[in-house]
Structure 1
Amino acid sequence: MKTVDIVSSADATLHLTRAILLYQSSGGYNHVYASTHPIDIDASNPTRRVIGAGAPMQRADLIDFAAAIHTQTAHAGFVPENLLYTSPNLMAWWVPAAVRMTWFKTTLPEIGTVHGPAAHPALIFVAGQGGWHVFALRESARPTPDTPLYHAPHFNVNDSGRICTGNVQIPDNLGAEAMAGYENAFFRSHFTHTNRQKPRAVRSKGGLTALWVSQLANPDAAAMQRALAPAKETLRTVIKRITHSHNDD
């Protein structure tokens, strides 16, 4: 069971006022019914509260509920230009292509332990409570929800785009202010192993290892772009997939 922390910036007393009950068909979310209920005083015990008779939930009830919680859940602050998607449990953003200092610490004889500048493609990061993912963009431009994504050609990333964090410290929140922390955790940590099971993670002779050996010898943004392999997903479908996987955890 997951715990929920209720935090207030000042002393406050919360009173139970209404209840919402959800009824769901077994085996999925195809049929859902919601009812709203007043909270009544138990006639036999005035200190006890009971859920009263319910009524079907109406649109007006949803509006009232949203209005009641809006001021407590809304994020106040400027939205960064590179933020693509945000929800209470997930956020996605992109970073442009760039030549970056890159660190490797592997048991592979071709690379071993080495660092140096290398070209990285534009990337999309998706961070959530259930994991952290990365995907590549062919063009270094802000994507739309229907922009095709490519496999991130990086070590420490599996076939679904999930990043193996190991002992790397990542932010413990999902606010826009945490994006730089996630980026530093990715780019400034050591790439240690190839997590891919599928051989076509990149379109490059010799695969991931040969690609990065070549980049460390001569950073080449065009060569990195040519090496990208389609992930056969869009930003929209990736957000949907990751959101559903988190809900199933």
Structure 2
Amino acid sequence: MTPNVQLYQPKAALIVFTASGFAAPYIEYYDMDERGCPVNPHPLTVREAQSLAKALDTREYAGKAFLRPEGVLPDNVLHLDPSENGSLVWYTKPQRQKLYFAESLGLENGMVALPALVWKANKKELQIFALKGIAKPKAETPLYHAPFFNLYQKGYVCMGTVNVAIKSAASLEEFISAWHAYFFESYFSHHINEHNPVGVNLFNLYKGLMADTEKTFPTDTLRPTPLILKNLL
């Protein structure tokens, strides 16, 4: 059986000429005849340039590729909006994570036990909340303030000088990995607007968790928000 092969025929060719110095390049356009030979050379017209620009525009592809999973949809994904300016909601289970702190805070970098977390992000901003349980959250699951410095009252993260540059065609897995790196590899420094996300001194809480490597995060210290998970969806 003959395979179904798509054949492409040469349509046109471009030759770019350059001169010494700072002269602008000159582009010549050639049609191709039925034998594939260049004919009818002429300077590239505005219409031809516009047609070429449209053919080379990858924005439509990037929009379709954004947040597309590389395989089976990960179990920790809670909500997905794959549009060009879309967003993703996912959660992470309780874990030990290395945190970095600005010198002004007076706290050594180290491994800290964290509760389960709910993340919501688009290409430019991140919100993060905490969970008291360890199971996958449901629509009615209450959200708590995440136990970190550099958070606003509504869960938005102040990224400071971190240059957030999410790729326009980032896969779902790349997107999650990038935001985890931006967040956990940045330096925490202060409470924003005196917002303490826990019911105790966060500085002392971190010190205790770093000193006792067997201790899990005390979820009874988490402060509730007025939100439940479905408010993020």
Aligned residues: 163
Matches within 5 A, 1:27-46: none
Q: Which residue matches 1:95?
A: 92
Q: Residue type matched to 2:157 in 1?
A: I
Map of 1:133 onto structure 2: 127
Match of 2:172 among 170, 176, 197: 176
CA RMSD of aligned residues (A): 2.4
Query: Which of residues 198, 201, 208 is equivalent to 1:202?
Result: 198
4+ residue segments displaced more than 6 Å: none
Q: Matched residues in 2 for 1:158 and 1:106: separation?
A: 21
Post-superposition CA distance 1:214-234 (Å, at most 9, x none): 222224654531211111211
Task: Give the structure 1 partner of residue 146 of structure 2.
Answer: 152
Question: Does the Cα contact within 8 Å between 1:156 and 1:193 map onto a contact in 2?
Answer: yes
Q: What are the Cα deviations for residues 161-185 of structure 1, in whole angstroms up to 9, with x where unaligned?
A: 0001112243414641210111122
Q: 1:102 to 1:180 in 2, by over 3 A?
A: same
**For residues 76 and 99 of structure 1, do their structure 2 counterparts lie closer, same or farther at Cα, with a shift above 3 Å needed?**
closer
Give the C-alpha shift of residue 149 in structure 1: 0.6
Give the Cα–Cα distance (whole angstroms) in 1 for the partners of residues 117 and 92 of structure 2.
Answer: 5
**2:172 is matched by which residue type in structure 1?**
A
Structure 1 position 185 matched with structure 2 position 182: yes
Question: Are 2:120 and 1:123 equivalent residues in the alignment?
Answer: no
Greater radius of gyration (CA): 2
1:132 positional shift: 0.9
Query: How far apart, CA to CA, are the structure 2 residues paired with 1:139 and 1:233?
Result: 16
Aligned to 2:47: none
In the alignment, which residue of structure 2 is the partner of 1:105? 102
CA displacement at 1:212 relative to structure 2: 1.7
Whether the aligned pair in 2 keeps the contact of 1:96 and 1:121 (CA below 8 Å) is yes
1:48 corresponds in structure 2 to none
Q: Distance in 2 between matches of 1:220 and 1:208?
A: 19
Which residue identity lines up with residue 131 of structure 1 in the other structure? E
Separation of aligned partners in 1, 2:69 and 2:128: 27
Question: Does the CA-based 8 Å contact 1:121-1:221 persist in structure 2?
Answer: no
Q: Which letter maps to 1:236?
A: K
**Where do 1:17-36 residues align within 5 Å?**
none
Deviations 1:77-122 (A, max 9, x none): 42122111111211111111111222211423xxx15111211111
Q: CA deviation at 1:238?
A: 2.9
What's the secondary structure of 2:104's corresponding residue? coil
Q: Out of 126, 131, 137, which is 1:143 matched to?
A: 137
8 Å Cα contact 2:131/2:144 also seen in 1: yes
Q: Is there any run of 5+ residues in structure 1 with no aligned partner, and where? A: 1-68, 240-249
Please list every run of 5 or more consecutive structure 2 residues that lacks an aligned counterpart in the other structure: 1-59
Which whole-Å CA distance do the structure 1 matches of 2:180 and 2:212 have between them?
23
- Which gives a bigger RCO, structure 1 or 2 (Cα 8 Å, sep 6+)? 2
SS of residue in 1 equivalent to 2:219: helix
Task: Tell me the amino acid that sits aligned with residue 150 of structure 2.
Answer: N
Counterpart residue type for residue 128 of structure 1 = N
Percent sequence identity over matched residues?
28
